[in-house]
Structure 1
Amino acid sequence: MSGTAPIVEHVDVLVVGGGPVGLITAYQLSRNLPSPHRVKIIEKHHKSAQDQYGRAITLFPRTSEMLDQLGLADSLAQQCFACRQTVNYDKDGNECPGRGWYFMENMKDTKWDFALVLRQKYQEEIFRQSLRHHGVELEAPYALTAIEILDNVGPNGYKIVATLENGNTKLKSIVKCKYLVGADGGRSFVRRAMNISFDGSSSEDKWVRIDGVIETDLPKPRTYCAIESPTHGNVLWAALDHGATRIGFAFTAERQKAYDEFNEEAAVKEAIASVKPFSLSFQQVDWWTIYVVGQRIARSFFVKDCVFLAGDACHTHSSGAAQGMNTGMHDAVNLGWKLSLVLQGLAKPDLLHTYEAERLPNVQKLINYDKDISRLMTMQLPENWKGNPNADPNEILGKVMAEAATFSSGLGIYYEPDSILNITQRADLSTVKPGQRAPDVVLQKPATFEPTRLQTETPNVAKFYIVLFAGDVAKTKNLLSAFSISVSDITWLFENDGLISWISIFSGPGGPSAYETLGGMPFGRVFYDEDNSAHQRYGIGVGIGTVMVFRPDGWVGTVVELGDEAAKKLENYFKTFLLLKGGIKL
């Protein structure tokens, strides 16, 4: 059978890598793309036999919000350790308020106001099960061994020829696909095969991470904790799911001299030394690792108009700020809805270029923060430090982490205004601008008045939401009337429910009928802002109202005024990136 031609399979998207980033990318595509679109995801290793517990552990609020809008966060919350408390100890075991991970206690303005701690093993199990529910199974062990890009293939054609090898049988097969997503980690085959430079450097610093079930006299063990060790740097102590704990510390060159071989026994011994003056003993060790600290970023995240990189495949950094998986999730969510719309012919292919344009600057911010944080955690001042050369690195670390707080929580991550997705049309209508996260706010449903949340009502299903903050209808009635007349001729705004959905938010307590409150049929689903807190959070006057467009991923796309100009501005916004839908030309 050695001469038999390889099996050839045709799919829309091949996702390479079965970690969280690959799984979330494939999940979105499988959920959003109707039949006969096909998604395939492969992984080089048997997931059950790869890593038992280790790697990433922490999801910050914005990541949890995004996963909530994908329908996944509740399952994570069932198993997680929800960490809202932090503590910082100096070398003598005294508490030092306001240092270390203290910023985590101020992650507000969200239902998910905590660190969701759940080891990657358990997260992946949830993601695989959810993916399976949409008819896609992670295929392992399959390695990608070659990529060929065909030049003579037209739009929406199978431009990529990928060669796969079964890890068990060594048999090769061919997958022809329209797009390929490399989510295959820091040693990405996809990145190397596409000759994409991976700029950056590795340091001389080594860090150790060890997970297990412990006994200790540390006063607050079920927290996100930092211990300012004179021998092991700024030690991480993180309460984990299922009653476990992670200890992380710098393994200095001086400490390394004591070991010819660094094994589990050595990792336990150093962990015990790192948390002095507190005692520590391990009842069981689940996982441990030692690694070199460095920062690298790919020169491009999207090449040949068909190959993407996401997660560690396009950026690696230390675990000092606990941002690795969070940043990869942001990549996956940013890419997922855009690729879904382009594959369905609903959006222009140019939309895909906004993936790199939006994600790369934010990854660069992370790299810059991480360089400083990782050095400070190893008791070194930042490379370009211009302050007191004798400054305490622990004190400076607290300031840097506080400065990076809204970025680290993800709630402050924004995309710059542009001419495609984040378009500024009126800057004075809302304090929330295009390119910024759309804050989650409490609303009331009509008739029952039961509470709900805006993000609950705007799930990420590759759909845009036109959110009409109608204000006080008694004051905005004329503006609403002018707006209604202006949009009445643009039927595609209402006939594309699979692509655009409407929500109306009235300020004040709800009446017995939304129709009677408005004096006519409202736009889309109606919710009440009983105490005006939603309008206040968005900085929208109840006397003038405002129209906002939410992108599928929960960022604001554009903001326009109520009135007779609104329809034209909405039309102009959507026409920058949308295509045909049901024969209606935008």
Structure 2
Amino acid sequence: MRSVNKQVRRVDVLIVGGGPVGLLTAFQLAKFGHSRSIAIIEKHPKSSQDQYGRAITLYPRSSEILDQLGLADELAQECFACRNTVSYDKAGKVVAGRGWYFMENMKDTQWDFALVLRQKYQEEIFRRSLRELGVDLETPVELIQAHVDESVPQGGYKITAVTKNGITGEEETIMCKYLVGADGGRSFVRRTLDIPFDGSTTEDKWVRIDGIIETNMPKPRVYGSIESPTHGNVLWAALDHGATRIGFAFTAERQNAYPEFNEAAAVAEAIESVKPFSLQVKQVDWFTIYSVGQRVARKFFTKDCVILAGDASHTHSSGAAQGMNTGIHDASNLGWKLSMVLDGLTPPSLLDTYESERLPNVQKLINYDKDISRLMTMQLPIGWKGGKNADPNEILGNVMEKASTFTSGLSIAFDLNVLNVKGSFESSSKPAPVSPGQRGPDVQLQKPGTREGTRLHKEAPNNARFHVVVFAGEPDYTSTSLKSFSDSLEGSKVFSNARLPISWLTIPAKSAPSAFELLGIMPFGKVFYDEKQTAHNRYGVDIKRGGVMVLRPDGWVGTSTGLTDGAVVELEVYFKSVLLINS
């Protein structure tokens, strides 16, 4: 006889899935003030899920996102920071410019390396950080029913969910305004809402094995590849805590040699895959065999209340090591938007931009992944128009180089929409190095007084607030414009609203003992010096004219204006279209 808890719990948001995407979504909502109105559940006991394997690599933009949430420093304490790569041909000779070589050229960021830390350790940090904000992961708790009452208006308790405790068997009814499915590729949320999962799964099998090894490979503590004639383009990745991951294609021919694929088989194949190098596996932490599938959910946001993120909304191979990165980008895009909607600061329609911004980038990744996963199994891309005898390893190097800035996340951008609006800003360089919808670059700055170094991302964290950055240029040239901007801002009814989720920063292109005396006016918010003018140059701001950049909470540029008489009006128009403002 099943146990049923008849008491109904009400929360604003129910998050299903206790992996990195669910944890980061919950962490943001809790950090932004919603710790008492959210719940996060995971059907597997975390002790059984805390294996060493699965995702391992964070690329620079993902690290930047976590840095702006205050999580990256702790990850960096435990990680293997990978800045070096190597590729070997089938004879064990180094081949330049192939495989993961692009990792050595990830510039324009403080996080100019691959942050390698197994998912087990990342999740431990995320869970602890979430618990410190007053939210516990409820596990083992499984979602077994979810119904949407479409007669209830958006923002009401549209969803009735039923959960089941995996230990006691007790069922609980939870009513919520929003349901976030971060429950993996076999997502119950996606399936129970009948959201199609378009795409296909190949017959190719891949193996991943982690552990402590000994080898005669000349450069073992790097991200590397071995161009094996029997196992495809073999992944060799130095991991945290002295471990190593080996990954390879597992052909049908080789599969036939094993009645059962167990740890011994994984070890035997790993040894074969890295030839001509020797390999001794001292300890196996984790291994898996899996098929590659590229699939995308038809909708990421449906019925005005159900949201899919991470593998629940898209799956692909691990060929480009993008799984966790893509999920982090989903969570980052969603967290602040959902928080602002719950706070009544923005219209609910803002959530539509989650799908419109993330879906094109997911599709772009999958298009790359289709080619990468085939090339890693020594197959030419579908529709290949080159020679039939082309070397897949050489083509793979070209594809990964072409995709490098997208893979690093630093070039991921969004189309113009209500959040990304082309303004009146005219760059001092053509084309402008930074435009609305693009990532706001991290730049070095100096604090007043102490002159100690800091970075824009540190001073413009993701706290569910927009950051208006006034590049004041050289005040000898811009003083009149700054005074006019200041006067207009003082007289603005919009910006007199203290409830607006907006912070201000002022960045002059020189330093002085007193920011007030330097500018001739009170600074807008905090002031930071750009004495070497690297920040102005990176954002394309003429030091004789200045400019204003609006950074979204997630660090992408929302709009940009000139430092002119009409700048405040332009900013008012932008924020009135995004925020619910009474003026």
Query: Does the pair score TM above 0.5?
Result: yes
Deviation at 1:482, TM superposition (A): 2.0
Corresponding letter in the other structure for 2:532: D
Q: 1:155 to 1:367 in 2, by over 3 A?
A: closer
- 1:494–1:500 CA contact under 8 A, matched in 2: no
Query: What's the CA shift for 1:426?
Result: 2.7
- Asked whether the 8 Å contact 1:44–1:143 carries over to 2, the reply is yes
Equivalent residue, structure 2, for 1:425: 423
2:300 maps to which residue? Answer: 301
Matched residue pairs, number? 579
Moved more, 133-142 or 147-156: 147-156
Question: Does structure 2 retain, via aligned residues, the 8 Å contact 1:350–1:577?
Answer: no
Alpha carbons of 1:108 and 1:306: their partners in 2 closer, same or farther (altered >3 Å)?
same
Instruction: Tell me the distance in 2 between the aligned counterparts of 1:242 and 1:13.
Output: 36
Per-residue CA deviations over 1:177-196 (Å, capped at 9, x if unaligned) read: 01010000000000001110
Q: Deviations over 1:81-110 (max 9, x none)?
A: 000000000000000010000000000111
Match for residue 503 of structure 1? 505
Letter in 2 for 1:439: P
**Is 2:3 aligned against 1:12?**
no
Given that 1:415 and 1:422 are in contact with CA atoms closer than 8 Å, whether structure 2 keeps it comes out as yes
Deviates more, 1:430-439 or 1:147-156: 147-156
* Cα shift at 1:384: 1.3
Separation in structure 2 between the aligned mates of residue 61 and residue 483 of structure 1, nearest angstrom:
35
Alpha-carbon deviations, 1:405-440, whole Å to 9, x = none?
00000011001112x000002363342000000000
Alignment of 1:109-508 (within 5 A): 109-418=108-417, 420-426=418-424, 428-429=426-427, 430-493=432-495, 495-496=497-498, 499-508=501-510
Structure 1: which 5+ residue stretches go unaligned?
Answer: none
Q: Aligned equivalents of 2:253 and 2:207: distance in 1?
A: 14
Residues 279-304 of structure 1 deviation map (CA, whole Å, 9 limit, x = unaligned): 00111000000001120000000000
**Take 1:154 and 1:250, find their aligned partners in 2: how far apart are those partners?**
50
Aligned-partner Cα distance in 2 for 1:319–1:341: 33
Q: 1:274 is aligned with what amino acid?
A: S
Corresponding residue of 1:577: 578
Deviation larger for 312-321 or 420-429: 420-429
Structure 2 counterpart SS, 1:33 = helix
> What's the secondary structure of 2:221's corresponding residue?
coil
- Pick which of 427-436 and 560-569 moved more: 427-436
Q: Residue 83 in 1 paired to residue 82 in 2? A: yes
Q: Which range is displaced more, 474-483 or 557-566?
A: 474-483
Post-superposition shift, 1:151?
Answer: 2.7
CA contact (8 A) 1:485 1:564 kept: no
Give SS of 2:405's match: helix
Contact 1:33–1:344, Cα closer than 8 Å, also in 2: no
Q: Is the 8 A contact 2:473 2:543 kept in 1?
A: yes
Q: Counterpart of 1:399 in 2: which secondary structure?
A: helix
SS at match of 1:387: coil
Task: Look up the match of 1:30.
Answer: 30
Secondary structure of residue in 2 paired with 1:130: helix
User: SS of 1:355's equivalent?
Assistant: helix
Structure 1 position 491, deviation (Å): 4.2
Q: What is the match of residue 554 of structure 1?
A: 555
Shift of 1:538: 0.8
Aligned residue in 1 for 2:529? 528
Change over 3 Å in CA distance of 1:557–1:476 after alignment to 2? same
1:566 aligns with 2:567: yes
| Displacement after TM superposition at 1:356 (Å) | 0.1
Seq. identity, %: 66
In structure 2, what is the Cα distance between the partners aligned to 1:314 and 1:26? 17
Amino acid at match of 1:7: Q
Q: CA deviation at 1:389?
A: 1.5
Q: Is the 8 A contact 1:83 1:114 kept in 2?
A: yes
Looking at structure 1, the residues matched to 2 and 220 of structure 2 have their Cα atoms a distance apart, in angstroms, of 59
Residues 489-523 of structure 1, C-alpha deviations (whole Å, 9 max, x = no match): 21442543661000000002x11100100112111
SS at match of 1:210: strand
Counterpart-to-counterpart distance in 1, 2:361 and 2:403: 12
1:51 positional shift? 4.0
Does the 8 A contact of 1:162 with 1:175 survive in 2?
yes
- CA distances 1:551-573 after superposition (whole Å, capped 9, x unpaired): 00000000011111101110111
Q: Does the alignment pair 1:93 with 2:88? A: no
Question: Counterpart in 1 of 2:540?
Answer: 539
1:204 Cα deviation after fit: 1.3
Residues 483 and 108 from structure 1, CA distance in 2 versus in 1: closer, same or farther, beyond 3 angstroms? Answer: same
Amino acid at match of 1:571: E
Corresponding residue SS for 2:482:
helix
Cα 1:326–1:391 shift into 2, 3 Å: same
| TM-score, normalised by the number of residues in structure 2 | 0.98
- Which residue of structure 1 lines up, in the alignment, with residue 52 of structure 2? 53
C-alpha change, 1:249 and 1:358, in structure 2 (3 Å) is same
Structure 1 position 48, deviation (Å): 1.3
Whether the 8 Å contact between 2:462 and 2:553 is mirrored in structure 1 is yes
Return the letter of the residue paired with 1:116. L
Aligned to 2:61: 62
Describe the superposition over 1:194-218 as per-residue Cα deviations: whole angstroms up to 9, x where unpaired: 1100000011110000000000000
**Whole-Å separation in 2 of the counterparts to 1:51 and 1:298:** 27
Query: Where do 4+ consecutive residues of structure 1 move more than 3 Å?
Result: 1-5, 494-498
* Residues 88-143 of structure 1 deviation map (CA, whole Å, 9 limit, x = unaligned): 00000000010000000000111100000000000000000000010000000011
Q: Are 2:154 and 2:305, in contact at CA under 8 Å, matched by a contact in 1? A: no
- The secondary structure found in structure 2 opposite 1:576 is helix
How many Å apart are 1:6 and its aligned residue? 2.3
Structure 2 residue runs of 5 or longer lacking an equivalent are none
Change (3 A) 1:545 1:526: same
Q: Deviations over 1:461-484 (max 9, x none)?
A: 100000000100101112112222
The CA deviation at 1:539 is 1.1
Distance 1:141 1:4, change over 3 A: closer
How does the TM-score come out when normalised to structure 1?
0.97
How far 1:65 moved relative to its partner? Answer: 0.4
**Amino acid aligned to 1:322:** A
Q: Distance in 2 between matches of 1:367 and 1:307?
A: 23
What CA distance in whole angstroms lies between the structure 2 residues aligned with 1:134 and 1:302?
27
- In the alignment, the residues of structure 2 paired with residue 411 and residue 155 of structure 1 have an alpha-carbon distance, to the nearest angstrom, of 34
Offset of residue 233 of structure 1: 0.1
Alpha-carbon distance in 2 for matches of 1:154, 1:497? 25
Once structures 1 and 2 are overlaid, which stretch shifts more, 2-11 or 558-567? 2-11
| Maintained 8 Å contact 1:227/1:235 | yes
What's the C-alpha RMSD, in Å, of the aligned pairs?
1.3
Amino acid at match of 1:314: S
Amino acid at match of 1:237: W
Distance 2:303 2:272 in 1: 51
Partner letter of residue 329 of structure 1?
I
Q: Which amino acid aligns with 1:6?
A: K
What SS is found at the alignment partner of 1:308?
Answer: strand
Q: Which amino acid aligns with 1:202?
A: T
Q: Counterpart of 1:344 in structure 2: which amino acid?
A: D
